[in-house]
Amino acid sequence: MLEFLKQPWAWYVAGPLIGLTVPALLIIGNKSFGISSSLRHICASCMPAGIPFFKYNWKKEAWNLIFVLGILLGGAIAITILSNPAPIEINPKLATELAGYGITDYSNLVPAEIMNWKSLFTLKGFLLMVLGGFLVGFGTRYAGGCTSGHAIMGLSNLQLPSLIATICFMIGGFIMANLILPYILSL
């Protein structure tokens, strides 16, 4: 059984399982799925300053913090007990393209050549980790939620703003992956 869990799951198994969280959350307690709001709940619970954005009953949303804690614990369990020691399999054409940028280590989910403490203090590392993280956070706030909230929960509830946000997420991802990232990696 453990060996079965260590193998990658096909999209037609993992996708429906992720999708089933929507009706489960709605049936269990009329809750909506989303991860980005948990940061607001943490800030509201830890910093009860006079900031109006954090003045709300965050305890009503404590289930979301427990959900995020479960995601962190699940990730820790997956990386320690269920990790597959084989290198990540990628398309040979992509491997050739990445080798041109000096990326050849596929032992982790994120290439160690660009995501490490040493590269953080380079222009490329700063652009990818710091500026990229800021842009993701800004975009999440600007869109009123993250990809999981909009693309999983919002689309399943037939919300037009979620459809627009998901289309923009996809367009931004295509532009980043095909136009901007190759430029940054060549620095």
- Please answer whether residues 166 and 147 qualify as being in contact, where contact means their C-beta atoms are separated by less than 8 angstroms: yes
Largest CA distance in the chain: 54
- Please answer whether residues 140 and 148 qualify as being in contact, where contact means their C-beta atoms are separated by less than 8 angstroms: no
Cβ neighbours of 99 (radius 10 Å): 10
- Please answer whether residues 65 and 41 qualify as being in contact, where contact means their C-beta atoms are separated by less than 8 angstroms: yes
Per-residue pLDDT of the chain (187 residues; tens, 9 = 90+): 777 777 778 889 988 988 888 888 888 888 877 788 888 888 888 876 678 888 888 888 888 889 889 999 998 998 888 887 777 788 999 889 889 888 888 777 788 888 888 888 888 888 888 898 898 888 888 888 888 889 888 888 899 999 999 999 999 999 998 999 888 888 8
pTM of the model as a whole: 0.76
Determine the pLDDT at residue 185.
85
Q: Quick one: which H or E segment has residue 96?
A: helix 92-100
Sign, CA dihedral 135-182-171-111, equals: negative
